[in-house]
Amino acid sequence: MAGLRERKKEQTRRRISEVALRLFDERGYDAVTVAEVAEAAGVAKVTLFAYFSSKECLVLDAVKEDMAAIVAGRPEGRSPLDALRAHYRGMARQGAGEVDVEELFTRIRVISSSPALLAGLQWTYAGQRQELAAELARAVPGDGLAAQLMAAQISAAVTTVQEAFFHRLSTGVPLEKAGRLLAEDVELAFDLLEHGFSSLKGNIS
């Protein structure tokens, strides 16, 4: 029964998110109220807020990445960077084929057209980076600056890889090929994070 309950909750959450994204895309983020989203999704407003804590979360929750949790939950003996590499390697190899490209571009379009969501996205990224830094600080000796620098580099690398994937899709690269290239990009990104320029072939001065 618990499994069925969780599936129903996930279905409800998914329905609310899809309805919100459609309305925001059709009418603009600022023009649509939370009450209108709830009504269109067939739920009470209080139910909507049980799944999404704010209007912004209707759009931005889907782009959150809990890298701190990945580091915290890593197996004993595995480094934070190895844990993150394994996570994104798995996403690239298995998840790219499950991407709903139309929904992805709709979400990007909605965020890009709203100053409030763009600002919220930056706050989301900043919060994730700070959470990652706090978790890394448990494994990195020193006053915390090293952990902050590592978190900044990891966050920037992951974001850049994702942006390259989105760009390929937007220029017509087939999803299967974009997924293969994403897998290669993940390896390159984490090689650079682990070894720096020395991981590249040829000489860089």
Query: What would the pLDDT profile of 97-106 be if each residue is shown by its tens digit?
Result: 567 889 999 9
- pLDDT of 40 higher than 80: yes
Contacts of 74 (CB under 8 A, 6+ apart): 80, 82, 83
Average pLDDT over residues 22-41: 97
Closest to 151 in 3D by CA, of 161, 139, 136: 136
Q: What's the pLDDT at 99?
A: 76
* pLDDT (0 to 100) of residue 140: 79
2-59 has CATH 3.20.80.10 classification: no
The encoded tokens of residue 108 equal: 């990007």
pLDDT digits 0-9 by tens, 141-159: 777 899 999 999 999 999 9
Average of per-residue pLDDT values in the chain: 91
Q: What angle do CA 70, 73, 78 make, to 5 degrees?
A: 90
- Per-residue pLDDT at 204: 52
**Tens digits of per-residue pLDDT, 172-204?**
998 889 989 999 999 999 999 998 877 676 555
Q: What integer pLDDT is reported at residue 114 of this predicted model?
A: 96
- The contacts of residue 92 (CB under 8 Å, 6+ apart) are 179, 182, 183, 185, 186
C-alpha distances (whole Å) from 44 to each of 33, 40, 51 are 13, 10, 11
Spans of all domains in the chain: 2-59, 64-199
Q: Which has more confidence, 139 or 142?
A: 139
